[in-house]
């Protein structure tokens, strides 16, 4: 099994968390986005969209982090199962994963880009911070009375974790009023799979 990704990519980290949860060994290939290696003919044979991460598992080639993680959960269900048995709850987890990808991770990545830019675009910074704040408020509501976003640790928690760990680096602090989010973050960091990613994100 081989994962093609780029250091610092939250979507790659998302897949690495599941690989660690499943206790799967794998090889890693660094695709240097700064050098445009994702646009090479060789890489586009793996993913025609030229994006990381990509997983190659024997004859299966899977791209897009959400689809990779569902594949890993289907192909290697134990340990542990990362989707609920109930179809309604499974749909809820998938909706949360989609929300994480679109409405949380992307704004955090936008903040990271602005942090590194020679000149910040304050309008973009504020828009991204507003989006992150709204996402954190949503998480506070979803986590009410729960240890994790589903009945147990799931692909939904995995989807939010990489960007959540990036917040200190992009100038976002979790408001003290978001007690559910703060407690959830502590539980996530206690998991070896996420603790490992946290070290690489520091």
Rg over alpha carbons for the chain, rounded to the nearest Å, is 17
Under 8 Å between Cβ of 21 and 168: no
- Listed in sequence order, the residues at least 6 apart from 190 whose beta carbon sits closer than 8 Å to its beta carbon are none
For residue 76, the number of C-alpha atoms closer than 13 Å in the C-beta half-sphere is 15
- Listed in sequence order, the residues at least 6 apart from 108 whose beta carbon sits closer than 8 Å to its beta carbon are 10, 128, 132, 163, 166, 167, 170, 172
Q: Give the per-residue pLDDT at 202.
A: 55
Domains recognised in the chain with CATH numbers: 2-75 (3.40.30.10), 87-195 (1.20.1050.10)
Under 8 Å between Cβ of 128 and 108: yes
Catalytic choice (9, 54, 108, 150)? 9
Q: What is the pLDDT of residues 120-158, one digit of tens each?
A: 889 999 999 999 999 999 999 999 999 999 999 999 999
2: annotated active-site residue: no
Q: Give the per-residue pLDDT at 80.
A: 85
Above 80 in pLDDT, residue 199? no
Beta bridge partners of 27: 2
Q: Give the per-residue pLDDT at 18.
A: 97
Q: What's the rounded mean pLDDT across residues 36-44? A: 95
Q: Give the per-residue pLDDT at 118.
A: 81
Determine the Cα–Cα distance for residues 62 and 59; give it in Å rounded to an integer: 10
Above 60 in pLDDT, residue 162? yes
Q: Where are the alpha helices (DSSP H) in the chain?
A: 10-21, 41-44, 65-75, 87-99, 106-116, 122-142, 155-166, 179-190, 192-201
Q: What is the pLDDT of residues 6-15, one digit of tens each?
A: 988 999 999 9
Under 8 Å between Cβ of 178 and 140: yes
In percent, how much of the chain has pLDDT > 90? 89
The model's confidence at residue 201, banded by pLDDT at 50, 70 and 90, is low
Q: Give the per-residue pLDDT at 47.
A: 97
Q: Residue 68's closest CA among 89, 84, 92, 51?
A: 51
In percent, how much of the chain has pLDDT > 70? 99
Tokens linked to 45? 């044979």
Beta bridge partners of 55: 3, 62
- The structure's pTM equals 0.94
The model's confidence at residue 200, banded by pLDDT at 50, 70 and 90, is low
């Amino acid at each position: 099994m081989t994962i093609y990704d780029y250091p610092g990519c939250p979507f790659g980290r998302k897949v690495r968390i599941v690989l660690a949860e499943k206790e799967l060994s794998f090889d890693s290939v660094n695709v240097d986005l700064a050098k445009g290696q994702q646009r090479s003919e060789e890489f586009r044979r793996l993913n025609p969209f030229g994006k990381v991460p990509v997983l190659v598992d024997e004859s299966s080639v899977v791209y897009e982090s959400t689809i990779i993680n569902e594949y890993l959960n289907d192909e290697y269900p134990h340990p542990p199962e990362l989707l609920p048995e109930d179809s309604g709850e499974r749909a809820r987890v998938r909706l949360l994963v989609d929300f994480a990808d679109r409405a949380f991770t992307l704004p955090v990545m936008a903040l990271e880009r602005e942090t590194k830019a020679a000149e910040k675009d304050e309008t973009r910074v504020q828009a991204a911070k507003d989006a992150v704040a709204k996402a954190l408020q949503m998480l506070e509501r979803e986590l009410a009375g729960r240890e994790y976003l589903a009945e147990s640790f799931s692909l939904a928690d995995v989807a939010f974790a990489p960007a959540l760990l990036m917040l200190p680096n992009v100038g976002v602090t979790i408001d003290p009023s978001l007690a559910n989010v703060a407690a959830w973050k502590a539980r996530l960091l206690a998991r070896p799979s996420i603790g490992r990613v946290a070290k690489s994100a520091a």
